[in-house]
Amino acid sequence: DSGVTQTPKHLITATGQRVTLRCSPRSGDLSVYWYQQSLDQGLQFLIQYYNGEERAKGNILERFSAQQFPDLHSELNLSSLELGDSALYFCASSAVPALVETQYFGPGTRLLVL
């Protein structure tokens, strides 16, 4: 158990819908990362938040957005869903400041868009 929790574990929805994925980082971790893992693209970095502020963006679509709240939990919002958005979505957290930082991953949310 990494200490990172994600809800829900599974999500089935229809095209065009909007969903919210939730992540609670390990106690004390200020940084939260979101990754997407699909069969054809592998693990892809989406976005990073640090202490409530966006720090880095990766291959995140404009239909997707995220935020980190004062209690440090984070939410990833996916809207206008398409079939291709079906994937595993992982959240990771890390303890900073640290010169060599390790990311701890949650169990993921499996999203299926029908």
Partner 1 sequence: DAKTTQPTSMDCAEGRAANLPCNHSTISGNEYVYWYRQIHSQGPQYIIHGLKNNETNEMASLIITEDRKSSTLILPHATLRDTAVYYCIVRVATSGGSNYKLTFGKGTLLTVNP
Pair 35, 47: CB distance under 8 Å: no
Binding mask 45-84 for partner 1 (x = CB under 8 A): x--x-xx---xx-x--------------------------
Minimum CB distance to partner 1, residue 22 (Å):
15
Question: Interface with partner 1 includes 104 (CB under 8 A)?
Answer: yes
In angstroms, the CA 81 to CA 63 distance is 8
Binding mask 1-40 for partner 1 (x = CB under 8 A): -x-x-------------------------xx-x-x-----
The number of beta carbons lying within 10 Å of the beta carbon of residue 100 is 4
Number of residues that bind partner 1 (CB under 8 A): 34
Residues 6+ apart with CB under 8 A from 2: 26, 104, 105, 106
